[in-house]
Structure 1
Amino acid sequence: MAQLIVRNLDEEVVRRLKLRAAQNGRSAEAEHRAILEAVLLERSSQSSLKQLLQSMPDVGEDTDFLLST
């Protein structure tokens, strides 16, 4: 497995990472891994905006969107 070193982090970011890790019952390193995996791996399985819009039901009338004068 590869290693990643992150330098020059704001102290507030580190504090929040440690707090989040404690809330989730894991180390800061494990929490860091979980965040990276959630953002970089899991999101790729989500639908695209186009797919989301296409899945919306066809309701209402086009005239609902006309500007009244």
Structure 2
Amino acid sequence: MAQLLVRGLGQETKTGLQARAARHGQSMEAEARDILRDALKDEGRPADVGLGTRIAARFAGIGLEPGELERIDWSEPRNPFEE
């Protein structure tokens, strides 16, 4: 596995990383790995893909038919546990 040395990290940043790692119950090294992985996770996604497109892609195939949402009566709030 590759290693990375970060020089010149300010004390405030180090303290923040320590606190965040403690909140997540892991070492600073593990927390830094998670932060880097999450920051780069979507790097390959085209920049022109908007939020709506990403949401639609995320929920594609859940079983809704075109126009199904438009047929729902949204005039009154409903409790799904009472239906």
Class of the TM-score when normalised by the shorter of the 2 chains: 0.5 to 0.7
User: Structure 1 length as normaliser, TM-score?
Assistant: 0.65
Distance verdict in 2 for CA 1:9–1:54, change over 3 Å: closer
Shift of 1:44: 2.8
Match of 2:13 in 1: 13
The superposition leaves residues 5-64 of structure 1 with CA deviations (integer Å, 9 ceiling, x where unpaired) of 001110000000000000001000000000000001x2236563x331774xxxxxxxxx
How many percent of aligned residue pairs carry the same amino acid?
42
State the match for 1:43 in structure 2.
42
Please state whether the residue corresponding to 2:50 is helix, strand or coil.
Answer: helix
Instruction: State how far apart, in whole Å, the 1-side matches of 2:43 and 2:24 are.
Output: 24
Q: TM-score, normalised by structure 2?
A: 0.55
Which portions of structure 1, spanning 4 or more consecutive aligned residues, are displaced by more than 4 angstroms?
none
In structure 2, the gaps of 5 or more residues are 54-83
Q: Classify the secondary structure of the residue corresponding to 1:6.
A: coil
Structure 1: gaps spanning 5 or more residues: 56-69
Q: Paired residues, what number?
A: 53
C-alpha spacing 1:31/1:54, structure 2 compared with 1 (3 Å): closer
Q: Higher helix share goes to which structure? A: 1
The answer to which structure, 1 or 2, has the higher relative contact order (CA under 8 A, 6+ apart) is 1
